Amino acid sequence: MMEAVAAAAPVQTGVQAHNTPYLQISGIFKKFGDNVAVDHVDLDIRQHEIFALLGSSGCGKSTLLRMLAGMERPTSGRIVLDGQDITHLAPYDRPINMMFQSYALFPHMSVEQNIAFGLKQDKLPKGEIESRVAEMLDLVQMRKYAHRKPYQLSGGQQQRVALARSLAKRPKLLLLDEPLGALDKKLRQQTQLELVNTLEKVGVTCIMVTHDQEEAMTMATRIGIMSEGQLLQVGTPGEIYDYPNCRFTAEFIGETNLLTGMVSVDEPDHVEIDVPELEGRIWIDHGITGPKGMQVWTSIRPEDVRLDRKPPATPGVNSARGTVVEIAYLGSYSVYHVRLPSGKVIKSMVPSSRWYEAGEEAPTWDETVYVSWRPDLPVVMTR
């Protein structure tokens, strides 16, 4: 936990030193005119990994992916795949295949011909092509539709054909740009697991782009958070959720309460942060790397915020008094919005059983309540 809270530390790649990464992206930079689309991204990917690039619209995810595919030339930087420098290779010379967001299936070719297209470019023998196409059709369960044209398929079926086509050449690296972006919400959730299963069965190394955090959390072994062309944080879904290293990540992944404050006590075993919005202090039971007087941001997840009618034991520390302004009842839990005297609203996620077990009525609108949290739960960030 110590290093996780070391907020200003460089982007952590999670690759062991002795294990050279399969794909190395170093210092990749891309400008369109004066507009910086990708800003010095360093990233290492291990073999067989499913990596998700996550970020809001226009943050440069697609551009980064297109540079890996060779469809966009980096302004500077280097890409090494499996020991080969591919930075300047043409797309048709790279052992990389991409599944496009709009699928880009060839409309004048049947499902079978679409899947065979890449294999034909390699001038494989006819029998080999046929058996591979059959294998791919089975993989995505599209054998029945082999002779259909793309326009005769549903969105989900088109997605599977696009996947089969991009896997047919057994690429060293598979790129997926918003693989499920064109599907509706319900189909998307079903397809997420199906897609992961297929990718794991094939064992392909994979980078996918999405702006749906749920999709990234469900599918990826690791996630990279991008904003304004920069890669802000890399880690497993759990790491990113529990230990965001910056405000952007904390707010982008899940919901959180973000509090601005100043370090007032900086000891090796604990830290105190003055937070004007709380009219009190946050007391944290471990040290952070950062001097006294530094401005920091503290993230406390709504599920970590406790709601009580009684005042806490230590008023002014890790707690605050406020009034309930909104309650969102979500079945097994409710989210309470509590307005503090400073005007700051703190969200608290309370299990529905909480009041029942305490033998109390649930608090209601305009009631005065106290929010509090354990000293080990807040995450401190310096940017």
Partner 1 sequence: MNFKRFARKWLRPGRATVIAVPYFWLLVFFAVPFLIVLKISFAEQDIAIPPFTSLLNYEDGGLLHVTLNLANFQFIFGDELYADTYLSSLRVAFFTTVMCLLIGYPIAYAIARTDPARRNVLLMLVMLPFWTSFLLRVYAWMGLLKPNGIINHLLMSVGLISEPLEMFHNTFSLYLVMVYAYLPFMILPLYAHLVKMDIRLLEAANDLGARPLKAFFAITLPLSKNGIIAGSMMVFIPAVGEFVIPELVGGPDTLMIGKVLWNEFFDNNNWPMAAAVATVMVLLLIVPIGLFHRYETRELEGKNV
Residues in contact with partner 1 by CB under 8 A are: 69-71, 90-92, 96-98, 100, 102, 104-108, 117-118, 121-122, 149, 151, 165-166, 169
131 is in the binding site of which of ligand ATP, Mg ion, partner 1, none (Cβ under 5 to 8 A by kind)? none
Give 72 or 304: the residue with its C-beta nearer to ligand ATP. Answer: 72
Between the alpha carbon of residue 336 and those of residues 221, 258, 353, 362, the distances in Å are: 32, 16, 15, 11
H/E element, 118: helix 111-121
C-beta of 98: minimal distance to partner 1 in Å? 5
C-beta of 236: minimal distance to partner 1 in Å? 29
132 is in the binding site of which of partner 1, Mg ion, ligand ATP, none (Cβ under 5 to 8 A by kind)? none
**CB-CB contact of 29 with 40 (8 Å):** yes
Sign of CA dihedral 84, 89, 94, 99: positive
Structure tokens at 231: 């890669």
C-beta of 165: minimal distance to ligand ATP in Å? 21
Give 3 or 34: the residue with its C-beta nearer to partner 1. Answer: 34
151 is in the binding site of which of Mg ion, ligand ATP, partner 1, none (Cβ under 5 to 8 A by kind)? partner 1
Q: Which residue has the tokens 């008094």?
A: 321
16 binds ligand ATP (CB under 6 A): no
C-beta of 367: minimal distance to ligand ATP in Å? 42
C-beta of 188: minimal distance to partner 1 in Å? 21
Burial of 122 (0-12, 13-18, 19+ CB in 10 A): exposed
Q: Going residue by residue from 193 to 212, which x/- string records binding to ligand ATP, judged by CB under 6 A?
A: ------------------x-
62 binds Mg ion (CB under 5 A): yes
C-beta of 45: minimal distance to Mg ion in Å? 19
- With b for 16 or more beta-carbon neighbours within 10 A and e for fewer, the 339-368 pattern comes to ebeeebebbbbbeeeebeeeeeebbeeeee
Between the alpha carbon of residue 103 and those of residues 13, 56, 107, 142, 321, the distances in Å are: 30, 21, 11, 16, 53
Among 9, 20, 32, 361, binds ligand ATP (CB under 6 A): 32
- With b for 16 or more beta-carbon neighbours within 10 A and e for fewer, the 135-146 pattern comes to ebbebbebeebe
C-beta of 223: minimal distance to ligand ATP in Å? 15
User: How many whole angstroms separate alpha carbon 101 and alpha carbon 98?
Assistant: 9
235 binds ligand ATP (CB under 6 A): no
Q: Going residue by residue from 215 to 244, which x/- string records binding to Mg ion, judged by CB under 5 A?
A: ------------------------------
Give 121 or 295: the residue with its C-beta nearer to partner 1. Answer: 121
210 binds Mg ion (CB under 5 A): no
Q: Are strands 222-227 and 50-55 parallel, antiparallel or unpaired?
A: parallel
User: How many whole angstroms separate alpha carbon 111 and alpha carbon 236?
Assistant: 36
User: How many whole angstroms separate alpha carbon 283 and alpha carbon 375?
Assistant: 6
Residues that bind Mg ion (CB under 5 A): 62
Residues that bind ligand ATP (CB under 6 A): 32, 35, 37, 55, 57-63, 211
